[in-house]
Amino acid sequence: MEKKLAVNSTTSFTKDLKIIGERFRIVNRNDKIRKIVKKGLTFSLCAVLVGGLAAGSFEGVNKLAGWDGAATVETSLSAGSR
C-alpha cells in the first residue's frame, strides 16, 4: 500500500507540475501581449503629443511672422477675376 501511495503522489505531483507549467505559459503569453499593447499605446500617445506640439509651433511661428492664410486666398481670388 505504501508503494502505491508513493507512486500515486509522484504521478499526481508531475500532473500538478504540468498544470502549473501550462498556467505559467498562459500568464507569460498574456504578459508578452500586454507589453506589446503597452508599447503600441505609448508610441501612439507620443505621436499625438508631438503632432500637437508641431501644429502649435507652426501656428505660433505664422502668427509671429504676420502671415494670414485668408489674405492668400483673397489675393488668388482677385487675381483670377482679372
Q: What is the pLDDT of residue 49?
A: 96
Q: Which cell is 79 given? A: 487675381
Q: Output the tens digit of pLDDT for each of the chain's 82 residues.
A: 444 444 445 566 666 666 666 666 766 788 889 999 999 999 999 999 999 999 999 998 888 888 876 666 566 666 665 5
* pTM, to two decimals: 0.47
- Cα–Cα distances (Å) from 34 to 22, 46, 74, in that order, read 18, 18, 53
